[in-house]
Each structure stands twice: as structure tokens, then as C-alpha cells.
Amino acid sequence: MKVINGSDLDSMNRVMEFTPGGFLSHRFLLEEDGLGYTITRTVIPPKGPQRWHYPNHLEACYCVAGQGELVDIATG
């Protein structure tokens, strides 16, 4: 079992800020942890439409506050 306290993520260099957009990614589990999957908490600021592209992996998302819309640009 791997136990990681969310308050330790910053000191573990597992909080990343991405621009443009300014969203924060809190990375609880990474590939280097050897579990075969990752767990992150992503905080997205309310700045209007933003685009992300993930060429090397799939991602599952859920919204815990606010609202959002996900659009596959290729299929509409």
C-alpha cells in the first residue's frame, strides 16, 4: 500500500502549474510509483474555454464543484 498525504505533495515536487490556463495539477500517484495508473487532482480556474491535448494517454475526469463542458474537437 502506498500512502501519500495531500499536504505533502508540494514538498514532493508533485504540484505543477500549467500555462496557458493556469491550472494546477496535484499528482498523488505517478508512473514512477509503479502502479500502472496515476491519480491527480486538477484545479481549473474559471477563465473560459481552454484546450488540452493528450497525445500519449487517456484521462478520466469528474467535476466536484462548478460546471464544465468537455468537447472532442475531432467529432464535435
For 34, list phi and psi in degrees, rounded to 5. 75, 20
pTM score, two decimals?
A: 0.70
pLDDT digits (tens, 9 = 90+) for 13-59: 999 988 766 788 899 998 888 888 888 888 888 876 677 777 777 77
**How many C-beta atoms surround the C-beta of residue 26 within 10 A?**
15
pLDDT value of residue 73? 79
Q: What are phi and psi of 69, to 5 degrees?
A: -135, 130
Nearest to 27 by CA among 74, 35, 71: 35
